[in-house]
Amino acid sequence: MPKNYHLKNYDFFLILFAAAISIYGIIVIGSAKESVQSRQVIGLVIGLVVMVILSLIDYRSILNFYWIYYVASIILLLSVRFLGVTRGGAKRWIILAGIQFQPSETAKFLLILFFANFIMIHRDKVSRFGTLILTMGLFLIPWYLVYDEPDLSTSIVLICIFLSMIFIAGLSWKIIIGTLAVAIPVLVIGLMLVLQPNQEIIKDYQQTRILAWLQPDKYSNEEGYQQQNSIVAIGSGQLTGKGYKNNEVGSVKNGNFISEPQTDFIFAIIGEELGFIGSAAVIILASLVVVETLRIGRNASELSGTLICAGVAAHIGFQTFLNIAVATGVMPNTGIPLPFVSYGMTSLISLFMEVGVVLNVGLLRLRERDNVRF
């Protein structure tokens, strides 16, 4: 450990929870698609190494380069437009040296760092009209690049991260209530408009997914196919599941009724093979990561540390909710991975980078407390 840090101050609970849910994911990926399991193991090892390195670097020195992170996130998202490959009607990935890379996953981390420092600098004016417009304008640029890929699910998560951070920064309740008074009717009207024929607000496939969610029987053989099979799989697992890597003919996984089960619909595999107990274990572990992150943020020595933790907790919490909501039919199919669990090296490494910075927030507070004491 560096000279100014003490091993006793390291938050091993957060590391334990994050590593445990990641190992859980690797095990399930072995059943969903065994051929990619080894890559996820490599992603976990790299993620843990990067996490440790970042945890030992003063996060305040990292935030000094916050504008670089913002520009880098824009460049990464723009690279998708020029170098991206299209899959499933969306251009979200680029391939570098034979490795598939999703820039939006790294952009989440970079934008959390940027807004943590930017909002802290303007914390006394966060509720002023000019500051609010500037902050929202800076957010909307990368948000639109993600939305236009198109990647509606990630754009929703980015909104949740941004709103959580600006709320924690002390945004006036008058602005919050006023915004909700306008936003709720607009969302209702917007939903009605996107369901109309020949609408141009969202992509046709996105409209079809919403219709499939509202009318599952009508679209059971089309866009609603995956989601309905996911619900059946989770329900069939009952309390303890059908067993890890079972050979049941009636298994949704064994029948290939869910495409790419190692990513967006991995929760369906968990529900079918490990049942309610296995599903609850994922939710509990994810919740523990979020709660521990918020605890560190609550005790941070500076607002920027609190905002980093708020952004990371919002990212993990909202994205976990969104993925499980889709898998269980609570929300339309948006196509988003389950944090720490779904296959994806970019996502896993980016998540551990976030955890590394959060760990340093906790380490720095405890180091300063010890310095004051002695």
The DSSP result for 126-158, as a single string, is: TTSHHHHHHHHHHHHHHHHHHHTTT-HHHHHHH
145-172 per-position pLDDT tens digit = 999 888 888 999 999 999 999 999 999 8
Report yes or no on 192 lying in a domain: no
pTM to 2 decimal places: 0.91
Q: Do the beta carbons of residue 37 and residue 338 sit within 8 Å?
A: no
- Written as six digits, the tokens of 302 are 């500076």
Q: 150 preceded by cis ω (within 30°)? A: yes
Dist CA 79 CA 168 (whole Å) = 32
pLDDT at 223 exceeding the cut of 70: no
Q: What pLDDT, on a 0 to 100 scale, did the predictor assign at position 201?
A: 74
- pLDDT category at 366 given cuts 50, 70, 90 is low
Over the chain, what is the mean pLDDT? 89
How many structural domains are present in the chain? 1
Q: Residue 179 to residues 76, 163, 173, 331: CA-CA distances in angstroms?
A: 31, 11, 10, 23
Report yes or no on 366 lying in a domain: no
Percent of the chain with pLDDT over 70: 94
The closest of 353, 352, 312, 316 to 336, measured between CA atoms, is 316
Our CA angle for 228, 233, 236, nearest 5°, is 125
Report yes or no on 195 lying in a domain: no
Q: What pLDDT, on a 0 to 100 scale, did the predictor assign at position 88?
A: 63
Report yes or no on 196 lying in a domain: no
Q: What is the DSSP letter of 337?
A: P
- Written as six digits, the tokens of 254 are 């064994």
Report yes or no on 332 lying in a domain: yes
Report yes or no on 371 lying in a domain: no
Report yes or no on 50 lying in a domain: yes
What is the number of residues in the chain?
374
The closest of 260, 261, 265, 263 to 344, measured between CA atoms, is 263
Using the structure block, give the residue that is written with the tokens 């309905």.
Answer: 228
Supply the range of the domain harboring residue 207.
7-171+203-355
253-297 per-position pLDDT tens digit = 887 788 778 989 999 999 999 999 999 999 999 999 999 999 999
Using the structure block, give the residue that is written with the tokens 């996911």.
Answer: 230
Q: Do the beta carbons of residue 322 and residue 156 sit within 8 Å?
A: yes
pLDDT at 207 exceeding the cut of 80: no
Report yes or no on 142 lying in a domain: yes
- Written as six digits, the tokens of 290 are 């979020």
pLDDT at 373 exceeding the cut of 50: no
pLDDT at 367 exceeding the cut of 80: no
The closest of 76, 171, 70 to 115, measured between CA atoms, is 70
Label the pairing between strands 90-96 and 85-87: antiparallel
